[in-house]
Copies of this chain bind each other. A is one copy, B any other.
Amino acid sequence: MTDRSHSPSLASPSNPRIRAAARLRARPEREASGMTLVDGAREIRRAIDAGVEVIEAFICEPLLAGEDARVVLDALRASTTPVNSTSETAFAKVAFGSRTEGLVAVIKIPSLKLDRLEVMDGPLIAVIEAVEKPGNIGAVIRTADGAGADAVIAASPRTDLMNPNVIRASAGTIFSARIATAPTDQVRHWLEANGIRIVAARVDAPRSYTDADLTGPVAIVLGAEDRGLGEGWSGPDVEAVRLPMLGVADSLNVSVTAAVLLYEARRQRDRPTHEG
């Protein structure tokens, strides 16, 4: 795993392939190319497991560590995917975040079109509107995976779902999740067309979430960190719910709100019928 005698094939940080990959940190470049970066062995492993197309990979042998890294390398080397050994200096151009495991992949972005999202029977869906922080978006996707939600939809997102930091914060669960993105009006229309009830988290809602029915086809809608839900989520067919706020703060982090609501939905869905 730490074969330092191995001569890196890409030693210079100004190598054109390193520079091309590094440019994928920028959203316009991701959107123009249809590609993004995945940093981390666990994340790349989950991309491969989900059948995502890996275009090329960069490895930095001295940094490689862990079982996931070994599995990923074996899978990549058994495939036709180009695997580029790099120097630490070159690797630093494509890696990001505080923790690095010596593996970064360039992948093809899967379709995120809402009209391609498969409608499940009686689905539990998380909708996040205009959320900006990649860490929060990724955390919602990871929690939705744990709680068994059927899909996560980003309505009018300020950060694209394929931002490398979203992928990282999702722990790679984004690849197996059903995800889509569309403007808020289209998301709302899609929910209505598919007979999915809308339960919106609002700090000023009169009703506690524990009094809401979160069974059946339901979308839990969460607004941005700084401004909450927009006007697109009002009307008689939107049920607003709040979390009790018993301390000095007036709101919770959006990923925390999502976790409480999604796991309450899971609890209600799993409990024996007619229990209170």
Binding site for B on A (CB under 8 A): 46, 49, 139, 142-148, 171-173, 176-177, 210, 243-249, 252-253, 255-256, 259-260, 263-264, 266-267, 270-271, 275-276
Contact assessment for B256 and A243 in the assembled complex, using a CB-CB cutoff below 8 Å: no
Residues on B with C-beta less than 8 A from A275 are 276
Smallest Cβ-Cβ distance to A256: which chain B residue: B259
Residues on B with C-beta less than 8 A from A247 are 144-146, 148, 173, 176-177
Contact assessment for B263 and A173 in the assembled complex, using a CB-CB cutoff below 8 Å: no
Residues on B with C-beta less than 8 A from A146 are 243-247, 249, 252
Residues on B with C-beta less than 8 A from A267 are 210, 264
Residue from the set A253, A256, A276 with the largest chain B CB neighbour count within 10 Å: A256
Contact assessment for A143 and B176 in the assembled complex, using a CB-CB cutoff below 8 Å: no
A132 to chain B, nearest CB (A): 11
Whole-angstrom distance between the alpha carbons of A63 and B224 in the complex? 23
Residues on B with C-beta less than 8 A from A46 are 248
Contact assessment for B248 and A259 in the assembled complex, using a CB-CB cutoff below 8 Å: no
Residues on B with C-beta less than 8 A from A264 are 263-264, 267
Contact assessment for A244 and B270 in the assembled complex, using a CB-CB cutoff below 8 Å: yes
A248 to chain B, nearest CB (A): 5
Whole-angstrom distance between the alpha carbons of A270 and B243 in the complex? 13
Contact assessment for A248 and B49 in the assembled complex, using a CB-CB cutoff below 8 Å: yes
Residues on B with C-beta less than 8 A from A142 are 249, 252-253, 256
Given contacts A260-B263, A263-B264, 5 further A-B contacts (CB under 8 A): A139-B256, A173-B248, A176-B248, A246-B266, A271-B276
Contact assessment for B210 and A139 in the assembled complex, using a CB-CB cutoff below 8 Å: no
Smallest Cβ-Cβ distance to A50: which chain B residue: B248
Residues on B with C-beta less than 8 A from A243 are 146, 263
Whole-angstrom distance between the alpha carbons of A204 and B169 in the complex? 23
A141 to chain B, nearest CB (A): 10
Listed by A's residue number, 22 A-B pairs whose Cβ atoms lie within 8 Å are A46-B248, A49-B248, A139-B256, A142-B253, A142-B256, A145-B247, A146-B247, A146-B252, A148-B244, A148-B246, A148-B247, A171-B249, A172-B248, A172-B249, A173-B247, A176-B248, A210-B267, A210-B271, A255-B256, A259-B259, A263-B264, A275-B276
